[in-house]
Amino acid sequence: MGTAEIAVRRRNKSERLDRVGRLARGKFVSPKNVPELLKQIIEHGDIVCLEGDNQKQADFLANALASLDRKDLRDLHLVMSCITLPAHIQLFKKGMVRQVDFCYAGPQGTAVADLVKAKKFPVGAIHTYNELYARYYIDLTPRVALIAAAKADRKGNLFLAANTEETPAIVEPTAFSDGIVFAQVNEIVDKLPRIDIPADQVDFVVEAPYPMHLQALFTRDPAAITDVQIFMAMVALRGIYEKYEVQSLNHGVGFNTAAIELLLPTYGEQLGLKGKICKYWMVNPLPTMIPAIESGWIERVFSVGGEVGMERYTAARSDVFSTGRDGSFHSNRAMGQLAGHYAVDMFIGASLQIDINGNSSTVSKNRITGFGGAPNMGCQPTGRRHPSKAWLKAGAEASPGPGALPGRKLVVQLVETFQAGRVPTFVEELDAQDPSIKKALHGVAPVMIYGDDVTHIVTEEGIANLGACRSIAERQAAIRAVAGYTPVGLKRSKRVTQDLRARGIVQLPEDVGVSPSQVSRSLLAAQDIKGLVRWSKGLYDPPSQFVDW
């Protein structure tokens, strides 16, 4: 951009602010004036960032925007990480959106699939989190960002509380390019506990009539963990965590990994692994980690977001969790994703579908969910240079070559061979490869994690070490070998499976010293939510839907 153009942006911003006139008193806007103010500060065709994070939602501002019509605002280019709320879907139904660039649409996945079918979802691309934040600085810089904070002071400084999430990653590129930052807050106070966003970067503040919506995403009730999940957790602990001495890691948020967290103080302790594995984590404050933290397994946790009910516990354990000067929990999605990419030795998570090449996806024809953060962590960080035991060991197993990295990150898929309702996890081809979905995404199938990045697949049948495979055919055979009695698994050759097992590329549970007769619910350090509360010494406050006492 030349200086003339920059000047235009700056002049345009002051024109917008002039139009606001008496709709605001300084930076402060009354809730009833918000729809009219949005009409004045947003112009047709603008790039607008509507903060919808994985957890917190600028829902009051989203509802205000959705209360407008095409005649008020049109051709908007929405940039937002998560399409979460009905109000987000309204903007498309009303025809106000020219393009959308996003990451994840979990709760609205079905609505998004319907919009795609109706050709009312003009998508640029589905991104991974850091990919989208990076584009905010380059070619998707918002003209207006509508964000959510916990509190503001009278100058417009913002406090983000436990859910910092991606607010800084939205505000900085907007504020430093003459964009307009408009924050909804739960409360305006005289003095903030700490300042997370300086008033200098904030143009407008509204005290919303209701507190922002927070999704309780990561609470897993130990009572719902199954015998099979406990069994798989034991196999993973011995076959991966112990074998590679994994010290730094990221966990997905499913029941499979929750089982592993709850086995550390029991089964892990019996195996003598305390202090040898699982010391450093990039993960949200999962309630199921409380027993391992209280048993002294965990040195450090950094989080991309908070979790409802964990506020008092995390504040009390500031030796483990990141906390502000005020003592309360702090998170940061962009930095957490960066840490999950470069600073951990293992990503382990689950997926809805895995194809015979190890590609995985959570997209189906009737539900388009996108990615979120998994691909930033479930991939090989080829810019990594620092060694660790796990990284070097996985690297030594991979195909050698003069141009190859010396190490590899462990990228592990922990899945049961069937999902609920007897739907096979393993498929010959992903639903994400459906021509209509690919067409809507300009030819790019929404693959979450690519097979080339995956080092291991763990199922109840055993472990496939894809990182040690020497050919595509070998990788496919290894996947079929652990795909159980799904159609993909039934096609395996017994002779080839035996050969892979002899070479350690396929390992059965007994090969890593796990016997099904060891499986017992009593191995879970907590049996239910109440057990987690007890471990936390009463500091964990579970959301009401999890409380039955």
Partner 1 sequence: MEKFTKAFPSKPLRVPKDRQWALAGVVGSGNLEVMFERAARASDTMECHVETSIPGFRDSWLAALADFARHYPVGGTKVTIHDQGAAPVLVNLRLRQAYDHLVKTKP
Distance CA 82, CA 237 (A): 33
How remote is the C-alpha of 496 from its chain's centroid?
37
Nearer to partner 1, 296 or 516 (CB): 516
Name the residue nearer to partner 1 (CB basis): 166 or 460: 460
Rounded to a whole number of angstroms, the minimum distance from the CB of residue 64 to partner 1 is: 45
Contact 375, 418 (CB under 8 A): no
Tokens 């947003």 correspond to: 42
- Which chain residues interact with partner 1 by CB under 8 A? 226-228, 231, 416-418, 420, 422, 459-461, 484-485, 490, 515-517, 519
Structure tokens at 185: 């807050």
Which tokens is 393 given? 């060991």
Smaller CB separation from partner 1, 295 or 518: 518
In angstroms, what is the minimal distance from the CB of 377 to partner 1? Answer: 26
Question: Cβ closer to partner 1: 30 or 515?
Answer: 515
Nearest to 351 by CA among 458, 444, 209: 458
Taking the C-alpha atoms of residue 202 and residue 362, their distance in angstroms, rounded to an integer, is 37
Contacts of 194 (CB under 8 A, 6+ apart): 159, 324, 325, 326, 328
Nearer residue to partner 1 within complex by CB, 52 or 484? 484
> For 471-519, where are the E strands, in sequence order?
506-507
Strand stretches in 23-96, DSSP E? 24-25, 28-29, 47-50, 56-57, 76-82
In the DSSP assignment, the letter for residue 540 is -
Nearer to partner 1, 310 or 356 (CB): 356
Closer Cβ to partner 1, 345 or 460, answer by number: 460
Residue (196 or 460) nearer to partner 1, CB: 460
| Residue 24 token pair | 């605001």
Shortest distance in whole angstroms from residue 510 CB to partner 1: 9
Neighbour-count burial of 485, counting CB atoms closer than 10 A to its CB (0-12 exposed, 13-18 middle, 19+ buried):
exposed
Report which secondary-structure segment, H or E, holds 150.
strand 144-152
Instruction: Scan for tokens 């305390």, then name that residue.
Output: 274
